[in-house]
Amino acid sequence: MPATPALLRAAVLTAAALLTTATATAATATASAVPVSPAASPRSVSAPEPDTAPEPDTAPDTAPDNAPDTAPDAAPGAAYKAAHDTLGPQRLTPAQREQAAAKQVKAEASYAKALGLRTVGLLAGYKLSGGIQQPQQTSYWCGPAMLVAAQSAHDEVGGRSQQDAATLLKTNTSGTAWYGIDINVPSPTGYPVADALNSRLPGAGYVPNALPYTPTAADKTAFKQHITHDTDNDYAIAGNAWEVPGGPHLVGHPNIEIFHWVAVDGYNTDTAAGEVDYLDPVGGVSTGVISWAGSVPKSAHISSDTLTTIMGGRGYVW
């Protein structure tokens, strides 16, 4: 979600934002579907100072949840992300780690069932959780628009206020943070989207899943397991895309740097989640707001491996 030219050369944002000023701290990244200057050194203006970031829940010598990518064969765009990323280490809370482990067991069972149905030919095309897409109302509101879409997948309520979502997420002209922002909910974790979804959908148990610049085969399998589990339980995944020049892009997006949030709301049973469906907040937006919006569909299908690569360096909330 492109912002104004004044936002260029700015912070590493999550969800669709431009990079903001080079003087702000690197403790967080926000999003807006805005093109970013390749020469910019991204820093987030809304990032907390390092000494106010969430405390690590593990010993100092324990690798953070977004440990650097060590894969020998880097994904397209991975070198660019490594050179421009200033987000810094992220850590899950102990409660998030426990929740993620419990959900992983269930996700593996869901995926095994999907594989079994495919093996015996009991297929049904795309299975969707039923999220309701909303075009984002500003160039930097992909996060709020995604939040109401992802929420609607479970509670089936459309027409929610993007303004209310933006206020909850502390979205600003730089976009919506992936990590480093505590929002106004009980026991915030620094992951605003996960905290917002859990606040609005009690019992959902959403947890963040950080990805390296080059997602591994295990990362790609895990994403298939997670979208299968979430869809089967009537939830959508909140995906934080980081598109870069020369790397893969979402359908209709130009070959520029874009931080963007999408709601992943289903998978193809015929391929056991080899392809997924996602709702793009840029779809339906006026070209006066985002110049390239005219080529972007409201929903689209994409290879799950490709989407996992696009989210590399950020991640998703499932």
List CB contacts of 120: < 8 A, sequence separation 6 or more. none
Q: What pLDDT is recorded for position 33?
A: 58
Q: Are 43 and 11 in contact (CB under 8 A)?
A: yes
User: What does pTM read for this prediction?
Assistant: 0.81
CB 266 within 8 A of CB 277: yes
Provide the residue-wise pLDDT of the chain in tens; the chain has 318 residues. 444 333 333 333 333 333 333 333 333 344 455 444 332 223 232 333 223 233 333 333 345 776 655 455 899 999 999 999 999 899 999 999 999 999 999 999 999 988 988 777 666 799 999 999 999 999 999 999 999 999 999 998 878 999 999 999 999 999 999 999 999 999 999 999 999 999 999 999 999 999 999 999 999 999 999 999 999 999 999 999 999 999 999 999 999 999 999 999 999 999 999 999 999 999 999 999 999 999 999 999 999 999 999 999 999 999
Tell the residue number behind the tokens 């109302």, with chain if given.
137
CA distances from 302 to 126, 197, 278 (A): 12, 24, 8
Sign of CA dihedral 192, 222, 310, 21: positive
User: How crowded is residue 176: how many other Cβ atoms within 10 Å of its Cβ?
Assistant: 37
What is the secondary structure of 91-118 as a DSSP string? Answer: ---HHHHHHHHHHHHHHHHHHHHHHHHH
Q: What span, in angstroms and rounded, lies between the C-alpha atoms of 17 and 235?
A: 25
- Residue identified by tokens 């979208």 is 227
Instruction: Determine the angle formed by the axes of helices 94-119 and 217-232, rounding to 10 degrees.
Output: 80
Tell me if 269 sits within 8 A of 127, measured CB to CB. Answer: yes
CB atoms near residue 279 (< 10 Å): 27
Counts for the chain of helices (H) and strands (E), in that order: 7, 7
**Cross-strand bridge partners of residue 95:** none
Radius of gyration of the chain, Cα coordinates, nearest whole angstrom: 18
State the amino acid at position 318 in one-letter form.
Answer: W
Phi, psi at 105, each rounded to 5°: -60, -45
Residue with the two structure tokens 């701290």: 25
C-alpha dist (Å) from residue 233 to 203, 239, 245, 299, 318: 12, 17, 36, 20, 11
Per-residue model confidence (pLDDT) at position 41: 29
Q: Residue 7's pLDDT is what?
A: 33
pLDDT for res 68:
56
Q: Cα(259)–Cα(12) distance, rounded to whole angstroms?
A: 8
**Residue 296 dihedral angles phi and psi, to the nearest 5°:** -100, 125
**Rounded distance between C-alpha atoms, residue 163 and residue 34, angstroms:** 19
